[in-house]
Amino acid sequence: MPISALSAEEVWDGTFPAADENAAYSGGSGLQEDPYLISTAEDLAQLSVNTNEIPDYTVDKYFKQTADIILNSPDVFARDEKGYITGIAEGKTANAWTPIGNHFYFTNSFCGNYDGAGHAVRGIYIETEVDYQGLFGYINNGSVSRLGIEDSFIFGWSWVGGVIGYNDEALVKNSNNTGTVSGETYVGGVIGYSSFSVITSLYNSGAVSGNESIGGLVGYNHQTLLTNSYNNGEIYGADSIGGLVGYNFYSTVKSCYNIGSVSGETGVGGVVGKEEKSMVINTYYLSACVPDATNYSGTALSDSEMQLKESFAGFDFVNVWAIESSTGYAYPQLIINLDPNLGEPSAVWDGTVADGFAVGTGSKDDPYLIQTAEELAFLAFSVADGNTYYDKYFKLENDIVLNNTSAKYWILNASKWTPIG
């Protein structure tokens, strides 16, 4: 449904509920196999309140978003000639968002696991001089995946990001931002500050600005691995301004690229603004995007070179990346974000699970024989149900093919596997 077609009832009314440790959300129990379902803005607001007010509320809990969530209608925002959001439109008011998780007490950081399931949160409005701003303010030992931030305006002081303000010892993957993100220090399109984390498959196309440590993806990268990600939004500030990372400290950036314009006064780079004891591997930037560079980490390419697979040494163009001109975007993009219709059928195993093992008793002399994908799936689901198979023996009788990896963009239409254990 086009955003313009949304009814008033589908846009959040700005109300935050009272904290409720027994909140039911739209379903689920919070377990990995039965996550709490975040289906409405009211569910998301409840998660914010509970995280910020109930100590350790999100520890070992799982949440899954089931639909796009609209916090503000797009018409409340003013935009510049390039389409970037610049604030609230004249005569309009907006619902202000309170980030999920804060740093006032570590017990009130977000420590759970949030799966956006390919959905977006739209219309986030934050305009404050308070630290730790984003959809999530502070994450510690948690995870965020498959989540998009769109049509949003996020302005804070320090540790400001479209998805996460401060990311500590967490996994963030398959997430993106297209909104405007701004602050004073440690500002990133996706993550403001990332520490001791793994972050992968991200992109930003929003405008990102600030004073110091400003990056298209991450403002300050501290002992963090950033892979398979890109930026095409405008990045500008004063000191430590990078197309991907503002300041890279004891961290690695690998298999990424930037084509967004980058401007600053000191410490300016197409990939990284400033760095200390860090590595940039197989990472590229559009040479024209940063005319006043002082840091040359990464490989500069021309616009025509940026549109050729051959230019991107180290990129996986089978499982991760694609250059697909039919989408109207001429540069590499992540396969996982493509329309599934662009991919060929790849599933060999259709997801069926066997009723048991056809051969064997599980002893050392007579092991269970795994002969088919269905039997292998039975083992996975049986273990997930609590069967440990203590002291049992298994033997793989032959090669088992779950998906045809030679199919074009095979991961788009693949059968998903549940790990054994």
Domain limit, last residue, from 304, 334, 364: 334
Q: Are residues 75 and 40 in the same domain?
A: yes
The CATH number linked to 102 is 2.160.20.110
Q: Are residues 365 and 305 in the same domain?
A: no
How high is the pLDDT of residue 185?
A: 99
Q: What average pLDDT is seen over the chain?
A: 96
How high is the pLDDT of residue 227?
A: 99
Residue 134 to residue 202: CA distance in whole angstroms: 16
pLDDT, mean of residues 248-256 = 99
Q: Are residues 105 and 251 in the same domain?
A: yes
pLDDT at 3 over 90: no
pLDDT, mean of residues 371-379 = 97
Q: Are residues 387 and 416 in the same domain?
A: yes
How high is the pLDDT of residue 202?
A: 99
Domain limit, last residue, from 282, 315, 334: 334
Range of the domain at 403: 339-421
pLDDT, mean of residues 316-344 = 95
Residue 57 to residue 246: CA distance in whole angstroms: 32
Residues 6+ apart with CB under 8 A from 9: none
pLDDT at 403 over 80: yes
Structure tokens belonging to residue 257: 């690229």
Of the listed ranges 7-21, 61-75, 91-105, 279-293, the least confidently predicted one is 7-21
How high is the pLDDT of residue 103?
A: 81
Domain count, the chain: 2
Give the CA distances from residue 153 to residues 16, 78, 95, 290, 341, in Å, rounded to whole numbers and listed in that order. Answer: 19, 10, 11, 25, 32
Give the CA distances from residue 43 to residues 8, 50, 160, 303, 383, in Å, rounded to whole numbers and listed in that order. Answer: 17, 11, 23, 44, 32
Q: Are residues 292 and 349 in the same domain?
A: no
pLDDT, mean of residues 96-104 = 93
Q: Are residues 323 and 402 in the same domain?
A: no
Q: Are residues 230 and 319 in the same domain?
A: yes
pLDDT at 404 over 50: yes
* pLDDT above 70: percentage of residues in the chain: 97
What confidence category does residue 42 fall into, taking pLDDT thresholds of 50, 70 and 90? very high
pLDDT at 2 over 80: no
Q: Are residues 301 and 404 in the same domain?
A: no
pLDDT at 9 over 90: no
Residue 238 to residue 240: CA distance in whole angstroms: 7
Q: Are residues 191 and 287 in the same domain?
A: yes
Helical (H) or strand (E) element with 373? helix 373-384
How high is the pLDDT of residue 114?
A: 99
Taken in order 206, 126, 336, 345, the sign of the CA dihedral is negative
pLDDT at 4 over 50: no
Q: Which residues are paired to 110 by β-bridges?
A: 139
* pLDDT above 90: percentage of residues in the chain: 96
Q: Are residues 308 and 418 in the same domain?
A: no
What confidence category does residue 309 fall into, taking pLDDT thresholds of 50, 70 and 90? very high
How high is the pLDDT of residue 106?
A: 77
pLDDT at 83 over 60: yes
Beta strands in 55-209 (DSSP E): 62-65, 69-70, 77-79, 85-88, 113-122, 125-127, 136-140, 143-150, 153-155, 158-161, 164-168, 171-177, 180-182, 185-188, 191-195, 198-204, 208-209
Residues 6+ apart with CB under 8 A from 304: none
pLDDT, mean of residues 149-153 = 99
Residue 402 DSSP symbol: S
pLDDT, mean of residues 186-210 = 99
Q: Are residues 236 and 298 in the same domain?
A: yes
What confidence category does residue 306 fall into, taking pLDDT thresholds of 50, 70 and 90? very high
Domain limit, last residue, from 266, 299, 334: 334
Q: Are residues 183 and 313 in the same domain?
A: yes
